[in-house]
Structure 1
Amino acid sequence: MGCIGGGIFHGIKGMRNAPKGTYRRLAGSFLTLRQRAPITGGNFAVWGGLFSAIDCSLVYIRKKEDPWNSITSGALTGAILSVRHGAGAMLGSAVVGGVLLAVIEGLGIMFTRYSAEQFNAANMMQEDPNASASAGVSPMFGQQQNSYQ
């Protein structure tokens, strides 16, 4: 995912920063893509691996699976990855990571609740399977049944 996203981003960036001319822009695009996309993919893999390790550790320690694990994992991942830049950068990255994961988890919960309401038994209309056959309507495409007898 990181390599593909990085490939698209760096391909466009290389095309924009290349000299004029179709050949030069394509060559610049492929050169930048080839040089930078694997780095972006690797960074994404490091972030994902650290996030997963922290998330699984929190599930093991807390003995529960809830959105707080993901939010905390995002904050800790951001802080750990920016530790070389100082305490201020760690705090900023932790806040960004926590807020980003909180938004993702919140949207996931909202989507789950919305889709669960669609399948609620009170919202579904009950149909009698014999009603359509007795009315001469085929269950397929609502067409009339031909009676040849």
Structure 2
Amino acid sequence: MSADHTRDPCPIVVLSDFGGAFAMGVIGGCVWHGIKGFRNSPYGERVTGALSVVKTRAPVVGGNFGVWGGLFSAFDCSVKAVRKREDAWNAVIAGFFTGGALAIRGGWRHTRNSAITCACLLGCFEGVGVLMQKVMAQPQQNIYGDAPMSA
């Protein structure tokens, strides 16, 4: 399989994925912490409490998502360069390295467990993606059968 030359080079892809993951994390953090801050604030201060929590916690969640997305993309590009293939195993291997790299400060046991968990999670994502492609690729069958011919 030849490399896809229509895609941006890997350094640009890594930065783009970092930004996309950061944006997803900030949006999700705004929703999650906004609801949480609203519910945990006193009755008269709910909106103020929600905004306060969103301002403090949403950027943190966005940063965490961004670091994960950037590391995963960097490892994915590295694995593609080493293997010279473009398949589902690249994501699983990159997920293994990403989970391990993010947990390295917790010790070897935590690193191993996080790497295996992240690889299994990405393996499930890739499996669902392959399954969905196969389901969508099957020809659609006519539910009503052939139309009767009139003479």
Q: Which category describes the TM-score, using the shorter chain as reference length?
A: 0.7 to 0.9
Q: What's 1:54 paired with?
A: 75
Q: Distance in 2 between matches of 1:14 and 1:118?
A: 49
Q: How does 1:108-123 map to 2 (within 5 A)?
A: 108-118=129-139, 123=141
Of 22, 25, 28, the match for 2:49: 28
Give ranges in structure 1 of 5+ residues lacking alignment: 125-134, 136-149
Report % sequence identity.
Answer: 44
**1:15-94 equivalent positions in 2, closer than 5 A:** 15-19=38-42, 21=43, 23-94=44-115
Cα deviations by residue, 1:61-112 (Å, 9 ceiling, x for unpaired): 0010111110111111011011111112212211221111011101100000
Distance of 2:138 and 2:72 partners within structure 1: 31
Larger RCO (CA within 8 A; separation ≥ 6): 2
Structure 1-normalised TM-score?
Answer: 0.75
With normalisation by structure 2, the TM-score equals 0.74
Aligned residues: 121
Q: What is the RMSD of the two structures over their aligned residues, measured on CA atoms?
A: 1.8
Unaligned runs of 5+ in 2: 1-23, 143-149
Residue of structure 1 equivalent to 2:116 = 95
